[in-house]
Structure 1
């Protein structure tokens, strides 16, 4: 494997392990509704703040927030980052015009959303990574396969290597298949936030994710029927 390929894959071990390990915590929070993952006791219910805050980039994170809001941002950031890595691979490999158009849409939407979610976490006084909330986790030893990513839809290192090795129609087909699964994972996470989150701004972004990525899944499926 080239130095570039190794550099591309190295961050994935930590991201895949992180999203998989924290997903179980997300389900616990959904069931209990009063998670206290970082060891802090909050005044009422699972709200961590009752004061409206404004993020570094001017996005208003209005009203209260809870642990579900924090986890949504902490997990969706690496999820979006992997989607951008997949999109970058399309340069010089994708052949289908509609695939190229969807790649541009993904980059246009998800990069700003990453910045927005990072700014929320900063304004909430929370770390940008759930890994920092769970320091006892061992992220270096995981070598999970595709199924290990669970409901998040994250791709494994092997998936990414296969995508990187593909070209033209083979790449287009593989990209569409992987992005459908990746988007469906994001939609599941966003629906969890809509159900369990408290912050109105975070819930609005979750609704946007559900709407936009559901539409893209439909387009990718139509592409697969065509190519």
Structure 2
């Protein structure tokens, strides 16, 4: 097989991996629904959840900021700005990939929430207002989609920094959702896998075009 053939073969694996991640997200949802993760979820949340009347207000505010990067209006402002950045890096197709993956992953998360209908944790008073169901975490989904895809689309010289940023944002956002009392750990795991699936699809769509151009 030629070098170009090897490259195309590797690219064609991306949607397969994305499909596997999506399937695993759905299977985890059924596991969660059966109650098999309850004990582990409870222990993690009990250990990490913060209580406003017992915690430093500055720390609570920091966790709320870390949470906002994955949801609500701040998320879409960040996505729009990053779309402009990746357009500058690699053209309009990259911007469409980032924006489209962000929108589609958010829609998929909302559909799965309705399908599984998992209640939010009730260990503490929620430190972030939420009205939707719990599994999978939409914030974790968005953080994984946006920052993983950003790392894949970054120019080679910026890629180490972009991967470090992606890891930091995904981990910080995930912990913040548990600490604010609005998600279980399994919600974060499911959302992260779902977001990674859409990031892979976005990367595949861009890489496929480059390989065949």
TM-score by length of 2: 0.33
TM-score by length of 1: 0.32
Higher helix share: 2
Greater relative contact order (Cα 8 A, min sep 6): structure 1 or 2?
2
